[in-house]
Homo-oligomer: A and B are copies of this chain.
Amino acid sequence: MSDGALWTALADPHRRAIVALLLERPRPVGEIVEASGLSQPSTSKHLKVLREAGLVRVRQDAQRRVYALDPAPIAELDAWLAPYRRLWNRSLDELGRRLDETAPDDSEED
Could you list which residues of chain A lie within 8 angstroms of chain B, going by C-beta atoms? 4, 7-8, 10-11, 13, 16, 23, 69, 71-72, 74-75, 77-78, 81, 83-85, 87-88, 90-91
How often does this chain occur in the complex, in copies?
2
Q: Ordered nearest first, which 3 A-B pairs have the shortest CB separation?
A: A11-B11, A71-B88, A74-B84
Residue A88 contacts which of B10, B75, B81, B85 (CB distance < 8 angstroms)? B75
Distance of A25 from chain B, by nearest CB (Å): 11
Distance of A58 from chain B, by nearest CB (Å): 16
Knowing A74-B85, A81-B77, the reply to whether A11 touches B16 (Cβ < 8 A) is no
Do most interface residues of chain A lie in helix, strand or loop, or is the interface mixed? Answer: helix
